[in-house]
Structure 1
Amino acid sequence: MEKVKIAIIHNKTPLSLKVMSELSQKLIASGHEINQTEPELVISVGGDGTLLSAFHLFNHKLDQVRFLGVHTGHLGFYTDWRDYELDELVASLNTKQEASVRYPLLDVRITYRNGKEPKHFLSLNESTIKRNDSTMVADIYIKDEFFERFRGDGLSIATPTGSTAYNKSIGGAVLHPRINAIQLTEIASLNNRVFRTLGSPMVIGSHEWIEVRLQESDECVITIDQFRLQQDEIDSIYYKIADENIQFASYRHTHFWRRVRDAFIGES
């Protein structure tokens, strides 16, 4: 058995703290190393939000780490193991040949009107753009070609793995995570004789990119997964499939459409 350096990221619920402690002991007893700074495998204990936090902690080392989720609540889209399956999880680390499943990420770049340095982010789920106190007006470009002028509450740009989150709640499509694409979905667009948009979600391929040029420079809110940024003097926000991707350790991998059925439909 090869020793694996493992970081455990967890939320603060009593069950997650208990599971984290038990899992650490079982991993150490099996010969693995708990290493919170230079891991090869990152295990999140909690829910999908915990795994998002783990991703952002280690997104500067995506070529070196794999991720695995242990769920301590309702079944999540990023978690293959439950809190009562720790022995099976450790046994699979010790005995099974592991492979990685790679999923696309969203590359976000913000440029400014006042000469401020651009900002760059990676998102696992989605990014949204909204104005604080009024509707947002923005020109949408796809691969540097003007597509439409949008007016409404905001825009959401999601990865396939994020398509089942906020994107779905605003009418976006559910995409299989192996599809190398991003999805643009409008949030309460205004359509009249002055403003006219497509009105339906758009799936953008890996060879294209989206540019959102804001028409007013006062403060807006941009989210990157669970993080919220108050920004002003924005010129453009660029979105594309990232060069990097996330690797999930697939010791055991639940069929994606089974996850969708279990999460949104349940037993028939």
Structure 2
Amino acid sequence: MRFAVQSRNDDLSNELMERAKTYLTDFGLIFDDAEPDVVLSIGGDGTLLHAFHRYKERLDEVAFVGIHTGHLGFYADWKPAEIEKLVISIAKHDFQVIEYPLLEVKVEYTNRNQSATFLALNESTIKSPEVTLVMDVELNGALFERFRGDGLCVSTPTGSTAYNKALGGAILHPSLPAIQMTEMASINNRVFRTVGSPLILPSHHNLVLKPVKGPDFMVTIDHLQILQKDVKSVHYRVAKERVRFARFRPFPFWKRVHDSFIDSND
């Protein structure tokens, strides 16, 4: 089995990275930064987002596992003191692989017959650089509303506990093949109206945003910020690809929610 390690690059994370490399190679595993079967993410949820985007071309072949060196995260199951236990489990192949949905983001442009497609593990947002965002929101080819406000966020179920939650969105169990759209400070008065509520869309539904005002937008894909110019439309749907995690022991999702937001002792 081949493995790679993504570190947050603080002292503790780098120390654990070197220990993990030593332990795993001693057990006969091969360190392969280019084509790993398992990727250890040592840090926090942000570290795992970096690892995901680093290996997004190998999602069918790679499984991720997280060690948290800060607060407990939704992607990091293991504590630093458990590194040896984790290494033994990896060496014995004592784990199962679980899969979660991803978000596909496709941007189409007005001045060229081209498009750009991205994958998000957590969410994608869209904002106007300096003015109010004005977007027509289409669901399955039909106009649903004209949005005016600061921006829109479209998240995966695993990303529903991140920025989406801060915007008042629902927390979705990651086994659900769905995406969620939440509003950022929408303008609602006697003239302009939006639904004013998060929308949860199943995998067979499509969400399309079409600019009404201004062709240039700041689009985020997880932690990445990309200025998109001459935008004709932005298409969102549940991706065909899925992210894979190596699960070594039960860690129920709702316990993670409880420990992270209600009663964390980490």
TM-score, normalising length: structure 1: 0.96
Aligned to 1:18: 15
Deviation at 1:267, TM superposition (A): 5.7
Equivalent position to 1:63, from 56, 60, 63? 60
1:45 aligned onto 2:42? yes
Deviation at 1:116, TM superposition (A): 5.1
Work out the number of aligned pairs and report it: 265
Gaps of 5+ in 1: none
- Give the fraction of aligned pairs with identical amino acids, expressed as a percent: 45
Aligned to 2:167: 170
1:211 aligned onto 2:208? yes
Mapped to 2, the partners of 1:92 and 1:109 lie a distance apart of: 39
Mapped to 2, the partners of 1:156 and 1:70 lie a distance apart of: 28
Quick one: which amino acid aligns to residue 30 of structure 1?
A: F
Equivalent position to 1:230, from 222, 227, 236? 227
Q: Is the 8 A contact 2:215 2:232 kept in 1?
A: no
Mapped to 2, the partners of 1:251 and 1:267 lie a distance apart of: 21
Aligned to 1:127: 124
Deviation at 1:256, TM superposition (A): 0.7
Deviation at 1:133, TM superposition (A): 1.2
Aligned to 1:7: 4
Measured against aligned partners, the alpha-carbon deviations of 1:131-184 in whole angstroms (never above 9, x if no partner) come to 111111000001111100000000000000000000000100111110110000
Gaps of 5+ in 2: none
Deviation at 1:204, TM superposition (A): 0.2
Deviation at 1:96, TM superposition (A): 5.3
Equivalent position to 2:74, from 71, 74, 77? 77
Mapped to 2, the partners of 1:252 and 1:24 lie a distance apart of: 22
Q: After alignment, is 46-55 or 252-261 more displaced?
A: 252-261
Mapped to 2, the partners of 1:43 and 1:116 lie a distance apart of: 40
Aligned to 2:195: 198
Q: Is the 8 A contact 1:217 1:235 kept in 2?
A: no
Q: Is the 8 A contact 1:80 1:253 kept in 2?
A: no
Aligned to 2:142: 145
Mapped to 2, the partners of 1:35 and 1:95 lie a distance apart of: 18
TM-score, normalising length: structure 2: 0.97
Quick one: which amino acid aligns to residue 110 of structure 1?
A: V
Aligned to 2:101: 104
Q: Is the 8 A contact 2:108 2:114 kept in 1?
A: yes
Measured against aligned partners, the alpha-carbon deviations of 1:13-71 in whole angstroms (never above 9, x if no partner) come to 11111110111111111111111001111111111011000000111111111111111
